[in-house]
């Protein structure tokens, strides 16, 4: 007996791989460092998705294991709201405050959201601690890209994000 759910999942992965490959064919550009051009990574991802899709389909034909459902738990909308607010604040503040402070705020909001999702009660002290941890994580990332590598992150808004 074939597991139709695994076949459907594998077919979906194969379709996504085909779409990714079609998109990679449209990327123009010369090969850069070590022969890897701008289309290299999309081809790697398309190949990995196709391989996983084939593995799912083959596995579905070789095994009759039942589909395992997700565990039942209540939605945590307050947690999602905190994480979403952190993303929006990051997008709004990054041009005005800079990369490091806005990412620190994002980290603190996401940490608070995860705590709320675990039914823990976050405190203002935890929030300040999370802001400092977020700054400690984002500062080396910023310095690595801008100072050491001389690369800026893509400008996603009119004035650039950094």
35 alpha carbon, distance to own chain's centre = 26
Read off the pTM.
0.58
**pLDDT band at 153; cut points 50, 70, 90:** low
Query: Does residue 18 register a pLDDT over 50?
Result: yes
CB 23 within 8 A of CB 42: yes
Query: Does residue 66 register a pLDDT over 70?
Result: no
pLDDT per residue over 116-138, tens digit each?
999 999 999 999 999 999 999 99
pLDDT value at position 80? Answer: 96
pLDDT value at position 161? Answer: 42
Q: Which residue is listed with tokens 């081809």?
A: 43
Quick count: other Cβ atoms within 10 Å of Cβ 98?
14
Domain ranges of the chain: 4-62, 77-148
């Amino acid at each position: 007996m074939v597991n139709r759910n695994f076949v459907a999942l594998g077919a979906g992965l194969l379709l996504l791989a085909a779409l990714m490959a079609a998109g990679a064919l449209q990327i123009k550009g010369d090969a850069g460092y070590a022969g890897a051009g701008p289309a290299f990574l999309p081809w790697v991802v398309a190949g990995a998705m196709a391989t996983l899709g084939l593995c799912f389909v083959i596995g579905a034909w070789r095994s009759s294991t039942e589909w395992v459902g997700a565990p039942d738990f209540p939605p945590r909308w307050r947690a999602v709201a905190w994480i979403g607010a952190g993303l929006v604040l990051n997008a709004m503040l990054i041009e005005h405050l800079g990369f490091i402070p806005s990412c620190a705020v994002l980290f603190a909001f996401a940490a608070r959201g995860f705590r709320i999702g675990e039914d823990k009660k976050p405190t203002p002290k935890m929030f300040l601690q999370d802001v400092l941890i977020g700054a400690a994580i984002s500062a080396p990332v910023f310095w690595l890209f801008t100072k050491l590598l001389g690369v800026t992150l893509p400008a996603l808004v009119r004035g650039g994000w950094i």
